[in-house]
């Protein structure tokens, strides 16, 4: 019976996180706070054991992953399937700006109802389909190992729900703050949550913007 441990780490902060702008798949760099968070995460995980490290190929995630993986002598497997939701033309906009286009944005988001993020963006179901394809490949590749996966806030929240077998789409765990992590165990097609939204440092933690 195999048992894989997944450590899902959200990337450090960006200027768009700080200003409450939707990022989606825009390739926004870490700000100074985010770079410090990445180094703090590397310190935090320095004594942990990881057999492999994977990351979204967006640089806010890959730079965070590189900081942690370097302490373990690991390379990073970049996987675009681990990218955040594509929010299309809403990228770079605040919640208030999006509400001018879709007045029910906050209600839909808060109630867990899935909807397309702008005419050119994804639904949550579409995002999760590609996220799960990437995670399933990782699980198949690393039986009985511990794997670090650096990705994005909504991705982590949705993966936690799905891998735990929660079927109600309205039930979504909280979105992790920047540089916070969740730990999931996986055995024989079943997952369980060890910890969720745990900080790797005591500074610069902030609520993520809504997607």
What's the whole-model pTM score?
0.94
- pLDDT per residue as tens digits for the range 113-146: 899 999 999 999 999 999 999 999 999 999 999 9
Asked whether residue 62 is assigned to any structural domain, the reply reads yes
Range of the domain at 175: 4-85+125-199
- Both tokens assigned to 88: 């299309």
Q: Which of 11, 39, 142, 152 is catalytic?
A: 11
Residue 211 located in a structural domain: no
Q: What is the DSSP letter of 24?
A: T
- pLDDT confidence bin for 168, thresholds 50/70/90: confident
Percent with pLDDT over 70 in the chain: 95
Pick from 206, 131, 199, 117: nearest CA to 161? 131
Instruction: Please say whether the beta carbons of 94 and 20 come within 8 A.
Output: yes
Does position 172 have pLDDT exceeding 80, yes or no? no
Closest CA to 180 of 160, 198, 159: 198
Residue 110 lies in a domain: no
CA distance 197 to 182: 6
How far is C-alpha 164 from the geometric centre of its chain's CA atoms? Answer: 16
Instruction: Indicate whether 101 belongs to any domain.
Output: no
CATH number, domain of 156, equals 3.40.50.1240
Asked whether residue 206 carries a pLDDT value surpassing 50, the answer given is no
Catalytic member of 39, 84, 122, 152:
84
Contact 55, 151 (CB under 8 A): yes
Give domain status of residue 29, yes or no.
Answer: yes
Say what the pLDDT of residue 56 is. 98
Residue 171's pLDDT band (cuts 50, 70, 90)? confident
To the nearest whole percent, how much of the chain has pLDDT over 90?
A: 87
Report if residue 172 sits inside a domain.
Answer: yes
109 inside domain: no
Q: Is 195 helix (H, G, I), strand (E, B) or coil?
A: strand
The SS3 assignment for 149 reads strand
Are 205 and 199 in contact by the 8 Å Cβ rule? The answer is: yes
11-36: per-residue pLDDT in tens? 999 999 999 999 999 999 999 999 99
- Whether 142 is catalytic is no
Residue 122 is among the residues annotated as catalytic for this protein: no
Q: Domain total for the chain?
A: 1
């Amino acid at each position: 019976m195999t048992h894989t441990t997944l450590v899902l780490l959200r990337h450090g902060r960006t200027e768009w996180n700080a200003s409450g702008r939707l990022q989606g798949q825009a390739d926004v760099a870490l700000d100074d706070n985010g770079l410090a968070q990445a180094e703090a995460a590397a310190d935090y995980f320095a004594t942990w054991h990881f057999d492999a490290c994977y990351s979204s190929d967006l640089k806010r995630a890959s730079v965070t992953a590189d900081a942690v993986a370097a302490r373990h002598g690991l390379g990073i497997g970049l996987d675009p399937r681990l990218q955040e939701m594509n929010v299309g033309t809403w990228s770079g906009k605040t919640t208030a700006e999006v509400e001018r286009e879709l007045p029910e944005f906050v209600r839909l988001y808060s109630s867990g109802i899935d909807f397309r993020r702008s005419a050119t963006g994804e639904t949550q179901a579409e995002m999760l389909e590609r996220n799960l394809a990437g995670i399933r490949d990782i699980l198949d590749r690393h039986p009985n190992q511990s794997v670090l996966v650096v990705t994005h806030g909504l991705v982590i929240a949705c993966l936690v729900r799905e891998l735990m077998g929660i079927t109600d789409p309205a039930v979504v765990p909280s979105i992790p703050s920047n540089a916070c992590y969740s730990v999931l165990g996986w055995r024989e097609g079943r997952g369980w949550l060890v910890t969720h939204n745990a900080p790797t440092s005591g500074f610069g933690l902030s609520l993520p913007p809504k997607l």
